[in-house]
Amino acid sequence: MADEFAKGFGILTGGGLVWMVLSGWYTTPSFEETQLVAEIPANLDAYGQAAIVLREVFFWFTILGVLTFWVVLPALQQLREAST
C-alpha cells in the first residue's frame, strides 16, 4: 500500500507543479485579480495554445492518476484478497 501511495503522491506533486506553472504563466493576469484559474487569453500563438492543451492534460493526469493509485488499485487489491 505504501508503494501505491508514493506513486500517487509523485503524480500529485509532479503533475500539480506543472499545472500550476502553466496556469501561472497563462491564466494569471495580475496578482490583484483571479490567479491560476482566470480566463484564458484569446491572442495566444501556437506555443501558447499548446501550453494550454498541456495544462489541461496535466490537470486530468493528476486527478485520474491520484484516484487510480489511491482509490482504484487498493480497492481492486481488497476485492482480490476478499475473493480468495
Query: Is the confidence at residue 74, as pLDDT, over 90?
Result: yes
Q: Nearest to residue 16, comparing CAs of 69, 61, 72?
A: 61
Is 3 exposed, middle or buried (CB count within 10 Å of its CB: 0-12, 13-18, 19+)?
A: exposed
**Is the distance from CB of 27 to CB of 36 less than 8 angstroms?**
yes
- Which residues, in sequence order, are CB contacts of 30 under 8 Å at separation 6+? none
| Residue 48 grid cell | 501558447
Whole-prediction pTM value? 0.86
Domain residue ranges in the chain: 2-83
pLDDT at 26: 93
Q: Nearest to residue 6, comparing CAs of 75, 74, 80?
A: 74
Residue 56: band (very low, low, confident or very high) from pLDDT cuts 50, 70, 90:
very high
